[in-house]
Amino acid sequence: MPRGDLFPDIAPYETGLLPLSSGHVMYWEQVGNPRGQPVLFLHGGPGAGAGAVHRRFFDPHHWRIIIFDQRGAGRSRPLGDLRDNTTPHLVADIELLRRFLGIEQWLLFGGSWGSTLALAYAQAHPERVTGCVLRGVFLGRRQEVEWFLYGLRRVFPDAWGHFASHVPVGEQEDLLTAYLARLCNPDPAIHLPAAYAWSQYEGLCSTLLPNPDTVAHFAQDRTALGLARIEAYYFAHDLFLRPDGLLAGMAAIDHIPAEIIQGRYDMICPAESAFDLAAAWSRARLTVVSDAGHSALEPGVRTALVAAVERFRRRG
């Protein structure tokens, strides 16, 4: 897939491992201009981890780009570990990283679950956030989880059929419980096939048109296990969000400017949530990409994301 509208590949100028609670260790990196405007990249999932391509949404001459892998995800260790792995723990980890790096304020950039975590962090620490660029909005509501588990079969019956068939017919009425039991089983012969089935289902449904590269990425061992196990665990616990939901906390961040980028045909996180968020946020600008699905690397979505970040650069 040509990605000429992203910035060129770039290596980090600094990487590190930050000890957290309960034996977790966070991988983090800094990219771009060490004296630049700070921006924090929040990956999706939960549990998907970040990659080299995510550095390329930002002009490295202007931005001090901070990327990290959340607890149990990507290059953080232990992979797929669920101990003390909740949204409040992730919010606290972000604050720990901010203080460790000596950053006063930063722009938040997150898609899918990354948009959820950005909202949760911003609502907890609004004084630390200069703005938000959010993509494929996921508010963590029960109906959004139910759509992922069952509603997607209306559009992707083949992908859903393969996903559901990983468990016996008698367990398919509660796919989340069935998958979580297998994903948390200590035997790799049980949890790895379940992780591949869950992760490939998400990859198959993430783009407007079939994209073998996207599916292959989701099938990688590191991505599949972290994503599937942590995502199922979070789903089973209502994403560890406040009982009244993220929309109830919008007063705390209504003064913060935001750019919301949404693929019209996003099947993982349907557009309804982006519209609901924009309606609750007076300083949010919503851009709907008419020919795109969920992935940040859909051509129209990545172009819109780069443009949104550039608008924040011009704001200073």
Are residue 21 and residue 110 in the same domain, yes or no?
yes
Structure confidence at residue 316 (pLDDT): 65
Confidence of residue 4 (pLDDT cuts 50, 70, 90): low
Query: Is residue 5 pLDDT above 50, yes or no?
Result: yes
Same domain, 232 and 248: no
Indicate if the pLDDT at residue 242 is higher than 50. yes
Which pLDDT score, from 0 to 100, does residue 216 have? Answer: 80
Residue 2 lies in a domain: no
Domain boundary among 237, 260, 275: 237
pLDDT digits (tens, 9 = 90+) for 10-69: 999 999 999 999 999 999 999 999 999 999 999 999 999 999 999 999 999 999 999 999
pLDDT at 217: 79
Of 186, 202, 237, the residue at which a domain comes to its end is 237
Eight-state DSSP code of residue 69:
P
Q: What's the pLDDT score for residue 3?
A: 52
Residue 1 lies in a domain: no
User: Are residues 85 and 32 both part of a single domain?
Assistant: yes
**H helix intervals, 29-70:** none
DSSP 84-148: T-SHHHHHHHHHHHHHHHT-S-EEEEEETHHHHHHHHHHHH-GGGEEEEEEES-----HHHHHHH
pTM as predicted? 0.96
- Indicate whether 138 pLDDT > 80: yes
- Do 91 and 217 reside in the same domain of the chain? no
Residues belonging to the active site: 112, 266, 294
Asked if pLDDT for residue 210 goes beyond 60, the answer is yes
> What average pLDDT does the segment 233-262 reach?
97
- Please report, for the domain that includes residue 94, its CATH number: 3.40.50.1820
pLDDT (average), residues 80-100: 98
Above 90 in pLDDT, residue 211?
no
Pairwise CA distance, residues 120 & 253, whole Å = 10
Same domain, 214 and 275: no
pLDDT digits (tens, 9 = 90+) for 104-125: 999 999 999 999 999 999 999 9
The domain boundary, picked from 212, 237, 262, lies at 237
Q: How confident is the model at residue 159 (pLDDT cuts 50, 70, 90)?
A: very high
Q: Do 225 and 284 fall into the same domain?
A: no
In a domain, 244, yes or no: yes
Asked if residue 258 lies in contact with residue 281, where contact means CB atoms within 8 angstroms, the answer is yes
Cβ(46)–Cβ(234) below 8 Å:
yes
CA distance 295 to 135: 9
Percent of the chain with pLDDT over 90: 93
Q: Name the phi and psi angles at 211, rounded to 5.
A: -135, 100
Q: What pLDDT shows up at residue 220?
A: 79
* Calpha distance 95→103 (Å, rounded): 10
Position 135 scores a pLDDT of 98
Residues 247, 224 share a domain: no
- What domain range includes position 220? 143-237
Q: Are residues 180 and 225 in the same domain?
A: yes
Distance of CA 203 to the CA centre of its chain: 13
Asked if pLDDT for residue 142 goes beyond 80, the answer is: yes
pLDDT at 1 over 70: no
